[in-house]
Chain A
Amino acid sequence: MKKSIKTILCLSIGITMFTGCKQNTQAPSNSALASDVASKVYVAPGEYDEFYAFVSGGFSGQMSVYGIPSGRLLKVIPVFSQDAEKGYGYNEETKPMLNTSFGFIPWDDAHHPELSQTAGETDGRWVFINGNNTPRIARIDLTTFETAEIIEIPNSGGNHSSPFTTENTEYVVAGTRFAVPYPQKDMSIKEYKGNFKGALTFIDVEEETGHMEVAFQVLMPGFNYDLAHSGKGKSHGWTFFTTYNTEESNTLMEVGASQNDKDYIAAINWKKAEEYIEQGKFKTIPAQYAHNVYDEKTHIATSEMKKEVRVLDPAECPGLVYFLPTPKSPHGVDVDPTGEYIVGNGKLSADLTVHSFSKVLAAIENNSFDGEAYGIPILKMDEIVAGVVEQAGLGPLHTEFDGKGNAYTTFFISSEVVKWNVGSWEVADRAPTYYSVGHLMIPGGDSKKPEGKYLVALNKITKDRYLPTGPELNHSAQLYDISGDKMELLLDFPTIGEPHYAQGISASKVMNKSKKYYPIDENAHPHATKSESDVKVVREGNVVRIYMTAIRSHLNPDNIEGIKVGDKVYVHLTNLEQDWDVPHGFSIMGAQNAELLVMPGQTETLYWEPKQEGVYPFYCTDFCSALHQEMQGYIRVSPANANVPLKWSMGDD
């Protein structure tokens, strides 16, 4: 009896342990313990990752850069939000980057990074990202990993279906999510239907410099334009936008915008648009939008207000736009590497609808229309569908490709990634995500040449994936190995803000072009101090300009007197270093501002209004050398009516 009790006890403990273990791993059966997963993501100290991943910062307004496969955070690039860490949007040089037609805006909601392409392949020159809230597109230079340019989008109500590129980065597009009165005016919201419009904007990208300019807008019906992708190969010259709320509802949208069985993918023939522009069939419309450019030589951003925009009306431009009926509020629209298949991810559906570009062209040729909407022909759905991936999961959102004939689609509601075959439309594999995946990313996965080795799932919900950190948890991302038949979960890592979308690229396409410092002899900042013999303090009325230098390990001048309460003080700090990774920081006690973080060879300006008399320390904020702690100085603030002469010095001279 005793023996059997013992046996039962042992057994039950054993079973509990077993099941306990299984629960703890939380891993799909084909992963984790089966193979040496850790070694697949292990990048030894001092070694480099194989890929860069550019991940949207969502409501942080920024973009973060990760190494793949390690999941290591390499940098956070400030884009649409002020960043006190780097002084971005705080220092005088970068404040104009955040200028808009509404004035200075310190934040935005950044959604979709998009790498520049040449011949349909990622080329490592620039990465673009959209600001959704106050519609803007930013261009980040991949030699400096800094935001080089931001352009505001006129007549847009929320810049979501952006900034997807064409095959040679002829354009990046910016579609409005929210339809708005056109032109903007005071009117009843109930009069939405027929009166609100949705502008789809094509931004010209200058080949050499990357400079952006609004080329033209297509003035579309007042639907919501959700995502986009441009054609490639045979479909080059077209851009596809998904729509929802074709019901044109203006309230209780979760019901109102989900009535129609089908919404549309809007296919825009932008080569046709170029012809119409050439023929002068556009209207020039007054508009207000900011165009902000950072000059790498002066280290200063300038903001220019643009006054007009060219607009094409589809009703007056036959052949410019067609509607492709697609079930249930499609989110992503994704074009396979050949350019033939256009995948509609109907987010309220269980199926994926795949259109054939050849069939679209044939249907247009044969006038196979099912009526029209606001003068735009609606193609007959039966004639353009290539195939349907049936009952693949719940809530398909976004698809990318591996370049080996497979597609990978995220399903938000069923929280999984599903692999399927392009052509047979058969499901090949599925892997759970943790949890509620939005977009996914395969390096080059929306280009002609995907590098189908890894897949990153970008999740919306984190819950129990990491140690709890109170009510707010960083969104999770998961890395899968997709080189084999089955997807294998390798790694789980937290992200910053919300990772709406990401783009990946082979490190070799980017790393060798990365800048190490700014040559001081090319510094064209009007307030640069290129040699310590030129340091000075200049007063013009109550404006005081301090021309200061930094080099390991002193700030020059380090004793300053003659500043008065109420002065407007500009500290123009030039970093004289000419070596990689030797920035100097700068801050003054009591300055209602962020620090400066000045890269080698760069000049940045801190604005300070001294409020109280006294002697205040300033110092270098970025540990730079063994004598960093000595890199400090004093600034004397005298009463407004004092006669203390302006004096500056360093050392005994």
Chain B
Amino acid sequence: MKHIIKISLLALIFLITSCGGESKKEKEGFSYEQKTEKKAAPQATAKKESKTPASQRVDLDNKGIGPVKSVTISEQINTEMASTGEALYKQYCMACHKPDKKFIGPAPKAILDRRSPEWIMNMILNPEQMVKEDPLAKDLLVEFNGSPMANQNLTEEQARAVLEYFRTIK
């Protein structure tokens, strides 16, 4: 009986010391498969081509789903329209989209290199249907944690101005 107690005590001491030893190596907090920026989006709805995150994928042919069927873009940036767009962007969009870095949603920086103008405007004007039916928008919703793209009820003219502003951030 005494032996058993002694062995137990030893085991206990061993446990305590081993715990103490390990805790020295630990950092503050903990990490458990935390997502890194480089990792691809969860694969739930992703298809073959979607190994690249949706936010970095390039698709200039997809016009999206919504009221905008075609947009004409002039050679020169219309600076007056762009500044109107910038003001609108600051008021209605900035809460979730920083111009040049990922925030709640993706950054619009150089977005015209990745998306068609029609797609951009349809995403602004018709986000509910876009995230349900457009393959890119669907993947974006997943990539950004299911955070919904809010419909801010911009007019088509306002959305066009925001698009012109996007041309200025490259």
The listed residue (B95, B146, B153) touching A579 by CB distance below 8 A is B153
Q: Is the CB of A531 within 8 A of B147?
A: no
A626 at the interface (CB under 8 A from B): yes
Report which residue of B94, B151, B153 has the largest number of chain A beta carbons within 10 angstroms of its beta carbon.
Answer: B153
**A653 → B minimal CB distance (Å):** 9
A297 at the interface (CB under 8 A from B): no
A530 to B91: give the CA distance in the assembly, Å. Answer: 6
Q: Is the CB of B148 within 8 A of A578?
A: no
B150 at the interface (CB under 8 A from A): yes
**A586 → B minimal CB distance (Å):** 16
Query: In B143-167, which residues have CB < 8 Å from any A CB?
Result: 145-148, 150-154
Q: Is the CB of B152 within 8 A of A627?
A: no
A556 at the interface (CB under 8 A from B): yes
A515 to B17: give the CA distance in the assembly, Å. Answer: 68
Q: Is the CB of B150 within 8 A of A582?
A: yes
A576 to B104: give the CA distance in the assembly, Å. Answer: 15
The listed residue (B94, B96, B104) touching A531 by CB distance below 8 A is B94
A625 to B92: give the CA distance in the assembly, Å. Answer: 18
A412 to B102: give the CA distance in the assembly, Å. Answer: 68
Q: Is the CB of B153 within 8 A of A552?
A: no
Chain B hits for A520, CB < 8 A: 91-92
Q: Is the CB of A552 within 8 A of B147?
A: yes
Q: Is the CB of A531 within 8 A of B153?
A: no
A577 at the interface (CB under 8 A from B): yes
Q: Which residue of A lies closest to B103 (CB)?
A: A651
A579 to B149: give the CA distance in the assembly, Å. Answer: 11
B90 at the interface (CB under 8 A from A): yes
Q: Is the CB of A578 within 8 A of B147?
A: no
A554 at the interface (CB under 8 A from B): yes
A583 to B54: give the CA distance in the assembly, Å. Answer: 30
Q: Is the CB of A531 within 8 A of B145?
A: no
**B93 → A minimal CB distance (Å):** 10
Chain B hits for A549, CB < 8 A: 95
Q: Is the CB of A579 within 8 A of B145?
A: no
Report which residue of B90, B94, B148, B151 has the largest number of chain A beta carbons within 10 angstroms of its beta carbon.
Answer: B148
Report which residue of B94, B95, B96, B145 has the largest number of chain A beta carbons within 10 angstroms of its beta carbon.
Answer: B95
Q: Is the interface of B mostly helix, strand, loop or mixed?
A: loop
Chain B hits for A626, CB < 8 A: 145-148
Q: Is the CB of A533 within 8 A of B94?
A: yes
A431 to B92: give the CA distance in the assembly, Å. Answer: 57
Q: Which residue of A lies closest to B90 (CB)?
A: A531
Q: Is the CB of B145 within 8 A of A627?
A: yes
A464 at the interface (CB under 8 A from B): no
A540 at the interface (CB under 8 A from B): no
- Given A520-B91, A530-B91, A554–B150 Cβ distance below 8 Å? no
Q: Is the CB of B147 within 8 A of A553?
A: yes
Say which size band chain A's interface belongs to.
Answer: 20 to 34
Query: In B72-93, which residues have CB < 8 Å from any A CB?
Result: 90-92
Query: In B89-130, which residues have CB < 8 Å from any A CB?
Result: 90-92, 94-96, 103-104
A521 at the interface (CB under 8 A from B): yes
Q: Which residue of A lies closest to B153 (CB)?
A: A578
Chain B hits for A651, CB < 8 A: 103
The listed residue (B95, B153, B154) touching A551 by CB distance below 8 A is B95
Chain B hits for A551, CB < 8 A: 95-96, 150
Q: Which residue of A lies closest to B96 (CB)?
A: A551
Query: In B2-44, which residues have CB < 8 Å from any A CB?
Result: none
A556 to B95: give the CA distance in the assembly, Å. Answer: 9
Q: Which residue of B lies closest to A535 (CB)?
A: B95
Q: Is the CB of B95 within 8 A of A578?
A: no
The listed residue (B90, B91, B148, B151) touching A625 by CB distance below 8 A is B148
Chain A hits for B147, CB < 8 A: 552-553, 625-627
Chain B hits for A576, CB < 8 A: 92, 95
A295 to B152: give the CA distance in the assembly, Å. Answer: 23
A532 at the interface (CB under 8 A from B): yes
Q: Which residue of A lies closest to B94 (CB)?
A: A532
Chain A hits for B96, CB < 8 A: 551-552
**A533 → B minimal CB distance (Å):** 6
**B145 → A minimal CB distance (Å):** 6
Chain B hits for A579, CB < 8 A: 150-153
A552 to B147: give the CA distance in the assembly, Å. Answer: 7
Q: Is the CB of B150 within 8 A of A533?
A: no
Chain A hits for B92, CB < 8 A: 520, 576, 578
Q: Is the CB of B146 within 8 A of A552?
A: no
**A285 → B minimal CB distance (Å):** 50
Q: Is the CB of B148 within 8 A of A552?
A: yes
Chain B hits for A577, CB < 8 A: 150, 152
- Given A552-B147, A554-B104, A626-B148, A521–B91 Cβ distance below 8 Å? yes
Q: Is the CB of A578 within 8 A of B151?
A: yes
Chain A hits for B103, CB < 8 A: 651
Q: Which residue of A lies closest to B144 (CB)?
A: A627
**B89 → A minimal CB distance (Å):** 10
Q: Which residue of B lies closest to A554 (CB)?
A: B104
A651 to B152: give the CA distance in the assembly, Å. Answer: 23
Chain A to chain B: the 4 pairs with minimum beta-carbon distance, closest first = A626-B146, A578-B152, A551-B95, A578-B153
Can you list 19 contacts pairing A with B, beta carbon distance less than 8 Å?
A530-B91, A531-B91, A531-B94, A532-B94, A551-B150, A552-B148, A552-B150, A554-B95, A556-B95, A577-B152, A578-B151, A578-B154, A579-B151, A582-B150, A625-B148, A626-B146, A626-B148, A627-B145, A627-B147
Which A positions have Cβ atoms within 8 angstroms of B? 517, 520-521, 530-533, 549, 551-554, 556, 576-579, 582, 625-627, 651
Which B positions have Cβ atoms within 8 angstroms of A? 90-92, 94-96, 103-104, 145-148, 150-154
